Amino acid sequence: MLARIPTSAVPELELKFQLGQGAREALVEFFSAYPSSVSELHAIYFDTPGHALRDEGFSLRVRRHGERYVQTLKHRAAGGLFERDEWEIEVPGAALDREALASTPVSRVVGADVLDATFSVEVERRQLLWTHGDDEIEISIDRGWIVADDRKEPIAEIELELLSGSPASLFALAEKLQPAADLTLSFESKAQRGYRLAGHDEVAALAARQLAVGSGTTTAEAFKVIAREGLVQIAGNARLLQRSHNPEVLHQTRVGLRRLRAAMTVFKLLLDPAGLAQARRETRWLGRELSPARDLDALLTRIATTDGIGDSPGRAAFLSALRLAQTEAYERALTALGSPRYRAMLLMLGQWIEIGAWTLNASSGVADTPVEALAAPVLHRLHRRLGRGLRKFRSLTPEARHELRKKAKTLRYASAFVSGVFDSHPGRRQRYLAALRELQDELGALNDISVARTLAKRVVGRIGGEMAFAAGLEIGRMSAEEARVMRAATKSVRNYRKRREFWVD
Chosen domain end from 144, 172, 202: 202
Taking the C-alpha atoms of residue 59 and residue 75, their distance in angstroms, rounded to an integer, is 7
Taking the C-alpha atoms of residue 385 and residue 388, their distance in angstroms, rounded to an integer, is 5
Are 82 and 15 a contacting pair, CB within 8 Å?
yes
Are 106 and 53 a contacting pair, CB within 8 Å?
yes
Taking the C-alpha atoms of residue 400 and residue 406, their distance in angstroms, rounded to an integer, is 10
pLDDT for res 7: 39
pLDDT for res 473: 81
Residue 97 forms part of a structural domain: yes
Taking the C-alpha atoms of residue 37 and residue 128, their distance in angstroms, rounded to an integer, is 7
**C-alpha distances out from residue 158 to 4, 123, 127, 186, Å:** 29, 12, 10, 10
The contacts of residue 256 (CB under 8 Å, 6+ apart) are 208, 230, 231, 232, 233, 234, 237
Examine the domain organization and report whether 146 and 271 are in the same domain: no
Chosen domain end from 143, 169, 202: 202
Examine the domain organization and report whether 320 and 188 are in the same domain: no
139 pLDDT higher than 60: yes
pLDDT for res 463: 63
Examine the domain organization and report whether 334 and 190 are in the same domain: no
Examine the domain organization and report whether 15 and 145 are in the same domain: yes
| 437-482 pLDDT tens trace | 999 999 999 998 888 888 887 877 756 677 777 777 887 888 888 8
Are 16 and 158 a contacting pair, CB within 8 Å?
yes
Residue 208 forms part of a structural domain: no
The predicted model gives 154-167 an average pLDDT of 94
- 217 in helix, strand or coil? coil
4 pLDDT higher than 50: no
Residue 238 forms part of a structural domain: no
Q: Which residue has the higher pLDDT, 79 or 110?
A: 110
Residue 164 pairs in a beta bridge with 136
Please report which confidence band the pLDDT of residue 202 belongs to, taking 50, 70 and 90 as the band edges. Answer: low
HSE (side-chain half, CA atoms, 13 Å) at 317: 13
Examine the domain organization and report whether 322 and 442 are in the same domain: yes
Examine the domain organization and report whether 179 and 286 are in the same domain: no
For 65, the domain range is: 10-202
Q: Which residue has the higher pLDDT, 466 or 152?
A: 152
Examine the domain organization and report whether 83 and 143 are in the same domain: yes
Residue 51 forms part of a structural domain: yes
| 10-47 pLDDT tens trace | 556 899 999 999 999 999 999 999 999 999 999 999 99
Q: Which residue has the higher pLDDT, 311 or 33?
A: 33
pLDDT for res 468: 75
The predicted model gives 92-98 an average pLDDT of 91
Examine the domain organization and report whether 159 and 267 are in the same domain: no
DSSP 8-state symbol, 315: H
Examine the domain organization and report whether 401 and 468 are in the same domain: yes
Residue 234 forms part of a structural domain: no
Residue 487 forms part of a structural domain: yes
**What residue type is assigned to position 217 of the chain?**
T
pLDDT for res 82: 59
What total of structural domains would you count in the chain?
Answer: 2
Taking the C-alpha atoms of residue 133 and residue 247, their distance in angstroms, rounded to an integer, is 48
Residue 209 forms part of a structural domain: no
**What residue type is assigned to position 256 of the chain?**
G
Taking the C-alpha atoms of residue 400 and residue 396, their distance in angstroms, rounded to an integer, is 6
Tell me the CATH number at 35: 2.40.320.10
Examine the domain organization and report whether 318 and 448 are in the same domain: yes
pLDDT for res 224: 93
154 pLDDT higher than 50: yes
The contacts of residue 391 (CB under 8 Å, 6+ apart) are none
**Out of 17-31, 79-93, 190-204, which region has the weakest mean confidence (pLDDT)?**
79-93
391 pLDDT higher than 50: yes
Chosen domain end from 167, 202, 237: 202
The contacts of residue 367 (CB under 8 Å, 6+ apart) are 218, 219, 220, 270, 358, 359, 361
Residue 446 forms part of a structural domain: yes
64 pLDDT higher than 90: yes
Are 163 and 140 a contacting pair, CB within 8 Å?
no
Provide the mean pLDDT of the chain: 89
- CA 44, 45, 46, 51 dihedral sign is negative
Highest mean pLDDT among 250-259, 356-365, 391-400: 250-259
